[in-house]
Amino acid sequence: MNRKLEQAKILVTGGAGFIGSNLIEVLLAKGCEVVCLDNFLTGKRENLASFLDNPAFRLIEGDIRDLATCRRAVEDMDYVLHEAALGSVPRSIADPVTTTEINITGFVNMLFASVEAKVKRFVYAASSSTYGDSRELPKIEDRIGKPLSPYAITKYANELFAENFSSIYGIETVGLRYFNVFGKRQDPFGMYAAVIPKFAMSLIRHEAPRINGDGSFSRDFTYIDNVVQANLLALLAQNGESLNTVYNVAYGEETALTQLFEFLREDLSAFDPEIRNVHAVHGPERRGDIPHSLADISKARRLLGYAPEVDVREGLRRTARWYFDNLR
């Protein structure tokens, strides 16, 4: 991978976010020139602090809803990794307008600007929420249900636009349907924080985390290093069959929320034994949530060579260490 990506010019949208900043860290280590585009609506400046003195890194503060900004960001770029989006199912239910503006208008702006700039490949963050009300397990890319939230609709629309632009304009696209990504730099603050950072913050503070529902709902929790691997493979893919399509990006295992809480409590207790005495409380189920999510990753294995290396237990141990060092 180092040899083929070295000196490549890569734009990472949403680069100040959790996934984007992890991607930038690895790309810079591999000798790439990286431009980050972020409006800091949800991204954090501290996520970029260690890159600012690197001559191969450049920050553009701007919004993907502005086409002129998108055009400036893609100038001379070889590849785009499009991570910018307004995430969270509950947030999209509370504010579908802003979610749609950023996730659809912003996506089309970036995609069209990439076409105009003759970018070689546009790799974008898709979402497992696209599977909607489908109860089939494991989830297979070409069998989806009806979306259950405005957020899910926007992410499915991204896939449709990418497929359409590949056909009309000839740009190479790869969509990566992320399944419940977690790891270092994932923001624990705010009402729309993801479950693992919220649990970690509560446990470190000796406060009872809240589990939505009875805790039996399960997810295919996916450690950040696996997601970074999938993005690099998507950039490097050469086989025509591997392009202009979407892939599940996950580990391929289910973990129930109660089990997740117990794992995280055990891992954090290694640093603070008092955490063992913290117990979760239960609240109502969230609107738009599906009971279970498990990915079939065979397509990504076959066409991209994807081979996730970090399972949930190891990922949680690494994540617990990072949160304990950074949240106290």
Active site members: 151
The contacts of residue 46 (CB under 8 Å, 6+ apart) are none
Strand partners, 62: none
The contacts of residue 61 (CB under 8 Å, 6+ apart) are 38, 39, 40
| Type of residue found at 261 | F
Structure tokens at 45: 């400046």
| CA 97 – CA 266 distance, rounded (Å) | 40
User: Dmax of the chain from CA atoms?
Assistant: 59
| CA 87 – CA 242 distance, rounded (Å) | 27
Which residue shows structure tokens 């950074």?
A: 326
| CA 198 – CA 309 distance, rounded (Å) | 25
Give SS3 for 306.
coil
Give SS3 for 9.
strand
Inter-residue contact 3 to 27 (CB < 8 Å):
no
| Type of residue found at 325 | D
3-class secondary structure for 126-195? EEHHHHCCCCCCCECCCCCCCCCCHHHHHHHHHHHHHHHHHHHHCCEEEEEEECCEECCCCCCCCCCCCH
User: How far separated are the first and last CA of the chain, in Å rounded?
Assistant: 37
Q: What is the CA radius of gyration of the chain?
A: 19
Which residue shows structure tokens 């993801």?
A: 194
